[in-house]
Chains A and B, each alone.
Chain A
Amino acid sequence: MKRLFALILLTFASTAPLHAAVEVQEVTSPGGIKAWLVEEHSIPFTALELRFRGGSALDAAGKRGAINLMTGLLEEGADGLNAQEFSEAREELATSFQYRVHDDTLSISARFLTENRAAAVDLLRSSIMSPAFNQTAIDRVRGQVLSGIRGDLTDPSSIAGQNFDAMVWGDHPYGSDRSGTQASVNSLTRDDILDAYDRVFGLDRVYVSAVGDITADELGALMDVLLGDLPESGAPSVGRAEYILTGGVTVIPFDTPQSVALFGHKGITRDDPDFMPAYILNEVFGGGGFESRLMQEVREKRGLTYGISTYLAPMEYGDLILGQVRSDNSRMAESIAVIRQEWAKIAKSGLTAKELEDAKTFLTGAYALRFDGNAPIARIMVGMQMTGLPVDYLRTRNDQVNAVTLEEINRVAARIYQPEELHFVVVGQPEGLEGSN
């Protein structure tokens, strides 16, 4: 039976990998706003994705949390509608708008039925162009944000993340949580919120994509209505963040039965020519699936954790390779020893030819699985625009994966993985683990 399986596998593995079957149009509105569009008329709705480059890293000095709070207020009333009336209007139209902010982007994800498109776009426009930011709403949402900040103070995972960021990035906005602190959020005024709004929104930083029951002309007109009156620009970029952490272990005592560890060091920028080999390396090393080396060594062989993963974080102003693991306090030291050993091993020996081949088959086959619905496709396309990838990347990406050689992989492994630089931040009561600095 086993041989039969092997034979079948070989047959399958040699078939051409799937290509993402989406036809992307590059659209420019009459007013000059650009977007990527996939027309998909079989279901009568559209997913629209907007992103503004900048995000919470654009917070003014001393106003940490202002952009996060401002984002939470966008759906709390606009154009003469209060928060409840705004929600009611959204519900009547059965449309949904989600506003999220990250370090480098503010994103707005909308979906609307074809028959309600015009009314939905008018409502969305009001939240972007003329949010009310009234004091009652500011205070109510501030209360929600403060509740989240208090929760983070006793959550081991948040404690680890915030300490790691602070040690890595120091005073750069990346070094502190985007929600701000209780003190900074308590001190924010309506003027701070208005200033935060001005920093984030601008025509020079918006990226748009749409997928669904809409034509290029309709999308062009829609964008001019929705975004045409935005100011030309927002706040200038904040400049690169300097990586200031060195290798070691930091233990943050916290009374909990299972420790959480965050670990990593400096990474690689998205536009680095070595990014693709680095991406493949990470996939094999700690990327999500059961098959990664860290899952095999830490979970499958030793049962030291339920899950372990690593990822590349190429951010706008700095980059990291990061991982996370949770182990019982009595076993965290062993998990860390195994991770160190694997880190050193991949730096020294890279991947085997078989690992590279398996990773290529997985990555090229799995690429098409990401395009599963209008909203996911819209998010991928807006992400590609922000990264500066051409439309053509959808067709060439798998070829780029396949073109990576073992020699390149092993050269990049030695470049990326720096066992001496690896720093662990452990929150819990890990037994037999001493902080080194």
Chain B
Amino acid sequence: MHRLIALLVSLFALTPSARAAEITSFSLGNGMEVVVLEDHRAPVVSHMVWYRVGAADEPAGKSGIAHFLEHLLFKGTDDMEAGEFSATVARNGGSDNAFTSWDYTAYFQRIAADRLDLMMRMEADRMRDLDMTENDVRTERDVILEERGQRVDSNPGSLFSEQMRAAQYLNHPYSIPIIGWRHEMEQLNRDDAFSFYQRYYAPNNAILIVAGDVYPDDVRQLAIRHYGPLQPTPDLPERIRPQEPPQLSERRLSYSDPRVAQPYITRSYLAPERDSGDQTEAAKLEMLAALLGGSGTTSVLGRKLQFETEQAIYTTAYYSGTSLDDTTFGLVMVPTPDFSLEDAETALDRAIAEFIDEGVDSEQFARIKMQLRASRIYGEDNIESLARRYGAALTSGLTIADIEAWPDILQAVSEQDVMDAAKMIFDPNKAVTGWIMPPKKPEATQ
């Protein structure tokens, strides 16, 4: 114990915020926000544009359109042929890609820092001037259907989590898979893509993040030149989505698929997300997840179910607080072959009940906080992943001040706070519990 305290003290001394990446932010006249993260160790830059729109902003019946549009942004514009964007990035020795979530869609390039001007020119071009043929749209629709085939339909675990999510959210569009439901994806067309594009792809709905070997004044100058002239979308609506009603009864799912080799049980609960200026509840849940399932060896579930009773091969607890609307807190247990899913669920319930009874192990709690502090130092080595954290947070309703305050809010969580959060979240009436398993072997007919 003595050693631990000594370590904590010296680590505090080690974390002057001055050494963290320099962060600058400003806005353009048309409403586009700009964030610059400096790291001058290598002559490389990450250029990202994040749109405050994702799968949870899609019109009813058009599931998958946000992600489909992301694919179509690599087709043409009034100035560029289909495929020319990526070909140009590659010819300049860079790599590019994009990703879509429920709350955001983001495009990025990694490239030599002296090519930033060209990247901005092209990214600004496709923010407002997308153009593509019917044939490009049809072919790309086949591609996203194959993508669904690969990511979801080939994987029983993915199919199952899609069902779990749909059961978790009765009313909020987080119930819809990002890739889309297949029957709706098959109908998506050029008009759907364009009306979504014209509304949401605009400077007043976008955040530019430039990270790497750049200086804020240069970025500002380039941003004004390339993004400054773009027209904002007038009367962009506030992002208000249908919210969840109170959950009054437990929801249970059971999914059988012959491709399941390893049965498991998962349980999720609706949970508050990080809110701007109010991240305390989320911080408690983040610490709760780390205590329960952060490590297969030393966490509460790992210790009880993998080591003491030896009923589990794997356990975890998860919570993702970066979300525009209510998120989920979840538990997973993979039982050893000697135990049924029924046994597993009983064991999981008991482990949680014991935890509520026993409270937080202070030494484990201190170790988690120590690792969180160290992760800030390690995190400085990867400016791109830091930039992604900024992008995800800023498109999920948080501010730079919220992001900067988050580590201290986590450190301020007390053991009692965690127990309060546990008692709040583990309400059996508010659980969504799922079993996934291979089909029962057919029984002999009588």
Contacts and interface: CB of A to CB of B under 8 A. Distances in A.
Given A44-B377, A115-B11, A87 B142 contact: no
Given A303-B142, A358-B90, A151 B262 contact: yes
Contact of B139 (A155, A302, A367): A302
Contacts of B295: 87, 91
A150 B336 CA distance: 12
Interface string B127-141: 000000000001111
Interface stretch (A100-108, A224-232, A304-312): A304-312
Interface in A71-96: 83-84, 86-88, 91-94
A87 B371 CA distance: 12
A403 interface: no
A9 B92 contact: yes
B367 A326 contact: no
A151 B334 CA distance: 12
B43 A18 contact: yes
A152 B261 CA distance: 8
B150 A154 contact: no
Interface in B184-241: none
A373 to B, nearest CB: 5
Interface of A: 1-2, 5, 8-9, 12-13, 15, 17-18, 21, 40, 42-45, 83-84, 86-88, 91-94, 111, 113, 115-116, 140, 143-144, 147, 150-156, 255-258, 260, 289-291, 296, 299-307, 326-328, 358, 361-369, 371-375
Contact of B41 (A42, A86, A290): A42
Nearest to A329: B149
B154 A257 contact: yes
B118 interface: yes
Interface size class for chain B? Answer: 35 or more
A19 to B, nearest CB: 9
B112 A368 contact: yes
Given A326-B150, A368-B112, A84 B91 contact: no
Contacts of A363: 93
B310 interface: yes
Contact of B91 (A9, A296, A303, A305): A9
B91 A361 contact: yes
A290 B80 CA distance: 16
A303 B11 contact: no
B7 A92 contact: yes
A307 B139 contact: no
Q: Which 7 A-B pairs have the closest CB atoms?
A: A365-B93, A303-B142, A94-B374, A258-B149, A306-B147, A87-B297, A303-B139
Given A12-B118, A289-B86, A290-B83, A304 B74 contact: no
B298 A91 contact: yes
A426 to B, nearest CB: 14
B41 A40 contact: yes
Contact of B95 (A327, A361, A366): A366
B90 A289 contact: yes
Contact of A12 (B79, B80, B92, B154): B92
A369 B14 contact: no
Contacts of A257: 149, 153-154
